[in-house]
Structure 1
Amino acid sequence: MKRAFALVAVPALTISLAACGDNGSGDGKDPMAGHSMPTSASPSASEGSRGRHNEQDVMFAQMMIPHHRQAIEMADLAVTRAASPKVKSLAADIKKAQDPEIKQLSAWLTGWRSSVPAPGTGGTGHMGHGGMDGMMTDQEMKDLQGAQGAAFDKTFLEMMIKHHQGAVTMAKAEQSSGRFPAAMKLAGDIVSTQTAEITKMQNLLKQ
């Protein structure tokens, strides 16, 4: 009787082991198959997140970065050249607002696997300022660098108004044609903030 029991038990054990080892057999009944889905789906989810942007979002970020950098360069000149405390305060506000925006725009481009404009590119003397409304030319920047006191204040305000108007135009294009929600929100912030600063600068020119 013991031998007969052994002969029956071995096949049963073989069948049991085969059943336990039949993972990923393709019959769709593997209970572990569902547990592997989150891991395999992660890259797709990541790509989907990156995919919530379009060419307009990329262009907006790549153009606004050098545009902001030039505004900060202009604002830095006001520290030692401006005569009006109000102009110096405005310049400080511009730098305070736009420096973090450059970092945010750069982070988005990195996440989208798009190139981040290097410092010195896309600014004065580069790319012909194609599509970047309000960018100052090399000569305009030299004129601003050479000005002092009240003359600087006037030149700075006139140039920054033009610069802000260009940024507003670019931001409105992003609002109209962009896809990435956070970039479109930033564009809205730029429109409201810089439009208000344009009005402030126009009033300072009248004083």
Structure 2
Amino acid sequence: MRSSRTPLIRRTALTVTAVTAAVTLAACGNDDGGSSSGHEGHGSSASASSTGDHNKQDVSFAQGMIPHHQQALEMAELAAGRAKSAQVKDLAARIEKAQDPEIRTMSGWLKAWGEDVPSAMPGMDHSAGSGMTGMMDAKDMTALAKASGTDFDTMFLTMMIEHHKGAVEMAESEKSKGSYDPATTLADGIVTTQTAEIKEMNQLLGKG
């Protein structure tokens, strides 16, 4: 009995050793692939091959759209306590709900790519974004913060239309020149959503 069991035990031991080695090699393979799939941001490494590598346009898009979105959030946050129109308040709430997660997503991409992430601090230096289309300057933001009631509504809608137009322009550039699939998909969503909101805001201003 002992001689017949020995080969079985030996084969079992060899099998366990082989499985352990395979698992170890697989783990090493994942470690080696981490850098190549790091650009995924919030995506899984399994989808790395389908999303493609990022290029300079993708980096520029994320680094530009983050402060652009941050300013839109600052404007939208003012609406809760200053807007008179329930429709303006609802629009502002939707802008916050859509753009805050997008900021986190784009920040994740930049971190994964080893690129600088624009500051998300409130009260950002608006002069720094003056070169981006649709961005308001410090004077505009101060005026909006001081307004209330129907004056705020009109000023908010007028400013946000221009802001959205700038975002759509930036997103269109990403769609045509970007190579990172999640970024071009996000850009497409921005174009669709903000174009619809521009139409809605023009209607609220009586221009629709």
CA contact (8 A) 1:62 1:116 kept: yes
Structure 1 position 170 matched with structure 2 position 175:
no
Is the CA contact 2:172–2:188 (under 8 Å) kept in the aligned structure 1?
yes
* 1:179 counterpart residue number: 179
Distance in 1 (CA, whole Å) between partners of 2:124 and 2:29 is: 41
2:93 aligned counterpart, secondary structure: helix
Q: 1:120: how far off?
A: 3.9
Q: Deviations over 1:70-94 (max 9, x none)?
A: 1010001111111100000000000
Q: Give, in whole Å, the separation in 2 of the partners of 1:128 and 1:66.
A: 7
Query: What runs of 5+ residues in structure 1 fail to find an aligned partner?
Result: 1-32
1:101 matched residue in structure 2: 102
2:119 corresponding residue in structure 1 = 118
TM score, norm. by length of structure 2: 0.76
Q: Any stretches of 5+ residues in structure 2 without a counterpart?
A: 1-20, 40-51
Residue 64 of structure 1 pairs with residue 52 of structure 2: no
User: Corresponding residue for 2:203?
Assistant: 203
User: In 1, distance between residues paired with 2:74 and 2:106?
Assistant: 18
Q: Give the Cα–Cα distance (whole angstroms) in 2 for the partners of residues 44 and 60 of structure 1.
A: 28
What is the CA RMSD across the aligned residues, in angstroms? 2.3
**TM-score, with normalisation over the residues of structure 1?**
0.77
Helix, strand or coil: the match of 2:205?
Answer: helix
The separation in 2 between residues aligned to 1:41 and 1:116, in whole angstroms, is: 29
User: Helix, strand or coil: the match of 1:150?
Assistant: helix
For residue 72 of structure 1, give the secondary structure of its aligned residue in structure 2: helix
Q: Which residue of 2 aligns with 1:144?
A: 144
Distance 1:168 1:139, change over 3 A: same
Q: Is 1:45 matched up with 2:33?
A: yes
SS in 2 for 1:206: coil
Report the Cα distance in structure 1 between the residues aligned to 2:123 and 2:110, rounded to whole angstroms: 15
Contact between 1:124 and 1:136, CA under 8 Å: does it hold in 2?
A: no
Instruction: Compare CA radii of gyration and give the structure with the larger one.
Output: 1
Partners of 2:29 and 2:114 in 1: CA distance: 20
Query: 1:116 Cα deviation (Å)?
Result: 1.1
Compared with structure 1, are the counterparts of its residues 119 and 180 closer, same or farther at alpha carbon in structure 2 (3 Å cutoff)?
same
Q: Secondary structure at the match of 1:133?
A: coil
Superposed structure 1 runs of 4+ greater than 6 Å apart: 33-36
Q: Kindly, what percent of the aligned residue pairs are identical?
A: 50
